[in-house]
């Protein structure tokens, strides 16, 4: 049976940027540089209500490719509380994480974030 590997398909999308992921763990913080992160759409409260959802604050998401975390030898999974720092030094705290997968293969993580102030 053939295995469909979609792990590199994120490279076909636009709006890629380099970010630094900081894994906040009890044993100490570690970082990984991700060159193909993708910033998602911001939803305002008014737009969310119009779409039938209620959000506490403006929402932004990042897609973090799993293979870049492994390539950086961080070998970590994204968790709430981790941070993402973009090229302009804005820091975003991860609120929730969803694994993006096809079958058994996790290609990356969709992270809902809020700017850390």
What are the extents of the domains in the chain? 14-115
Return the CATH fold of 14-115: Thrombin, subunit H (2.40.10)
pLDDT at 52: 59
- DSSP letters of 22-81? EE--TT--EEEEEEEEEE---B-HHHHHHTT---SS-BEEEEEEHHHHHHTT------TT
Residue 88 DSSP one-character state:
T
pLDDT at 43: 58
pLDDT at 6: 58
Q: Which residue has the higher pLDDT, 52 or 102?
A: 102
| Whole-number Å distance between alpha carbons of 38 and 59 | 14
pLDDT at 90: 93
pLDDT 10s digits, 6-41: 555 555 556 789 999 999 988 888 889 999 899 887
Q: In this model, does residue 116 exceed pLDDT 60?
A: yes
pLDDT 10s digits, 50-90: 655 555 556 688 999 888 887 555 557 889 999 999 999 99
What the block records as the tokens of 89 is 């030094």
Give residues with Cβ within 8 angstroms of 24, minimum separation 6.
79, 81, 82, 83
């Amino acid at each position: 049976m053939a295995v469909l590997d979609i792990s590199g398909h994120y490279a076909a999308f636009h709006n890629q940027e380099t970010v630094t992921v900081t894994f906040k763990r009890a044993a100490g913080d570690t970082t990984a540089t991700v060159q193909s992160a993708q910033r998602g759409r911001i939803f305002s409260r008014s737009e969310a209500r119009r779409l039938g959802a209620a959000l506490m604050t403006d929402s932004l998401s990042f897609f973090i490719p799993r293979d870049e975390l492994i390539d950086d030898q961080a070998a970590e999974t994204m968790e709430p509380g981790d941070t993402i720092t973009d090229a302009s030094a804005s820091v975003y705290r991860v609120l929730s994480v969803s694994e993006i997968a096809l079958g058994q293969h996790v290609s990356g993580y969709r992270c809902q974030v809020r700017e850390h102030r």
